[in-house]
Amino acid sequence: MMDQSAIHRFAVALAKEAGLMLMDSLTQNIAAEYKTSAADLVTEMDRKIECFFAEKVNTEFPEHMILGEEGTVTDQRSYIPEEETVWLIDPIDGTTNFVHQKRNFAISVGVYHKGSPIAGVIFDPAEGECFHALSGEGAWLNETKLERLSPTSEEEALIAMNSLWLVPNEYADFEKMQSLVSKVRGVRCQGSAALELAHVACGRLDGSIAFGLGPWDFGAGLVLLKEVGAVVTTSGNDSIYPFDHSSVIAAKPGLHEILAASYLR
Ligand code: IPD
Ligand code: CA
Ligand code: CA
Ligand code: CA
């Protein structure tokens, strides 16, 4: 029998240790390299933190698989993710914020067993905020248990969006999105998908609409959101497959139904 709570504790401890390493690194000059373009940065710390996780997980749980943004992957041809325990790791979510702002970034770690969520950790080291969840037991911000989310209306909603909806894309109708922006109370673009999901889970945001995310961006967030009763789907209103790229629409009950019915394809 798998000790899910040991995995949860281990993931929290690793995220906190990694957070200290990131905060220490901010006292030095951080060289950013282009990954695919000037808008897609990677630093030495992204790779260093991902290696740190890979080494620790491989030592503690050698049978577990790893899927990390910076290429630390267990060869996916050699296993079926739905049949294994998989760690979805984003060593720095919000690398652009890390480089430009030295804040508003997070470490995101989601653990799934045979396709079901086990544990999720989103650690914001600049704020000292650790959002974490153990499936079936609840979600916490540091030591404080998060409450289940109550329904909200569109008019009272503060939602996060990434900027992809501003350019033609396959997921959203531009006019519908304009109408949404004019109806809700406010819109935020935080630059860290994982933190946006954590902020929906703790009620700072009422919803989040993001397109083109990787499993490492939302793997932890889905675990947290499930524990607080958020509704989470793709933009097509389907359930999210955690091991591939996806759009992620996460919102309080009531609001999600409006988003899905009126604004998304
Ligand atoms: C990015 C951030 C950003 C989201 C992008 C992600 P990264 O992750 O989460 O908010 O809009 O889609 O790729 O590259 O900083 O880890
Ligand atoms: Ca990246
Ligand atoms: Ca990311
Ligand atoms: Ca990243």
Domains defined for the chain, CATH in brackets? 4-145 (3.30.540.10), 158-262 (3.40.190.80)
46 CB near ligand 1 (under 6 Å)? no
Q: State the virtual CA torsion across 104, 107, 113, 118 in degrees, nearest 10.
A: -60
Give the pLDDT confidence score for residue 138 in this predicted structure. 98
Blockwise average pLDDT, block size 10, the chain, 265 residues: 93 98 95 92 96 96 96 80 96 98 98 98 99 98 98 97 80 85 96 98 97 96 98 95 96 95 80
Establish whether residue 94 lines the binding site of ligand 1, counting it when its CB lies within 6 angstroms of any ligand atom.
yes
Query: What is the ipTM, given to two decimal places?
Result: 0.98
Any idea which ligand is nearest the CA of 196? Answer: 1
Quick one: pLDDT at residue 130?
A: 99
- On whether the CB atoms of residues 226 and 256 are closer than 8 A, the answer is no
DSSP per position, 60-97: H-TT-EEEETTS-B--GGG--GGGSEEEEEEEEE-HHH
**What pLDDT is stored for residue 262 in this prediction?**
85
Residue 111, pLDDT score: 98
Pocket lining: 191 vs ligand 1, CB cutoff 6 Å: yes
93 is in an annotated binding site: yes
CB 15 within 8 Å of CB 107: yes
Nearest of 132, 139, 136 to residue 110 by alpha carbon:
132
Residue closest to 124 by CA, chosen among 29, 28, 201 = 201
The pTM assigned to this predicted structure is 0.97
What is the spatial distance between Cα 90 and Cα 24, in angstroms, rounded to a whole number?
A: 18
CA of 137 to the centre of ligand 2 (A): 31
C-alpha–C-alpha distance, residues 122 and 111, integer Å: 12
Residue matched to tokens 């630093």: 43
Helix (H) or strand (E) holding 158: strand 158-161
CA angle 200, 194, 182 (to 5 degrees): 50
Among residues 60, 57, 52, which one has the least CA distance to residue 22?
Answer: 52
Residue 258: how many other CB atoms lie within 10 Å? 18
**What pLDDT does 139 receive?**
99
